[in-house]
Amino acid sequence: MTDDEVLLIVKKLKNFCIKEREKGKVLTKIDMTFLGTIDNCCNLTELGILKNRPIGKDEEIYFRGGYHMNFWDSDTQTNLYSPLCREVKDRNWFREEPDWVCKIIATVISYIQRLIRIR
C-alpha cells in the first residue's frame, strides 16, 4: 500500500467519525470509545507518514480494536480500520525489537552494571 492509499483510508475514517458525531444521536460510551480509537489511530498513522514518527508502546492499543469494533460497525472495521492497522504493523512502526536484540541489550546492561560495581 502506498502512502497516498494509507492517507486515503485515514481520510475516510476521519470522515466516518465526523458523520457519526453529526448524526445527532446520543453517543454511548461504546460509541465514544470506538470513535476515539479511530481518531487516535488515524492521527498516529498520519504522524508516521508525515513526520516519520514511530508508534509508542503505550499507543499500540489504538491499533488492536478491530475484533470488538466488528460488533459495533463491521463494514468500517473490515474495509478501513483493519487494513490500516495491518499496514501500520507491516511497516513496523511499532518498532518491536526481535528477541535476540533484547537479549543483547540486557547482556550489555548487565555487563555495564558489573563494571560500575567494580569501580
Instruction: Kindly report, residue by residue over 40-51, the tens digit of the pLDDT.
Output: 999 999 999 998
- Model confidence at 20, pLDDT cuts 50, 70, 90, reads confident
Give the pLDDT mean for 1-27.
90
Q: Which residues contact 64 (CB under 8 A, 6 or more apart)?
A: 85
Residue 66 burial class via C-beta count within 10 angstroms: exposed 0-12, middle 13-18, buried 19 and up = middle
Closest by CA to 6, choosing from 99, 111, 93, is 93
pLDDT at 66: 60
Q: How many residues does the chain have?
A: 119
Q: How many CA atoms lie within 13 A of 33 on its CB side?
A: 11
- Least confidently predicted of 41-45, 67-71, 112-116: 67-71
pLDDT at 45: 95
Residue 12 has pLDDT above 60, yes or no: yes
Residue 110 has pLDDT above 60, yes or no: yes
Provide the 10 A C-beta neighbour count for residue 96.
Answer: 12
Contact 82, 40 (CB under 8 A): no
Q: Which residues contact 3 (CB under 8 A, 6 or more apart)?
A: 49
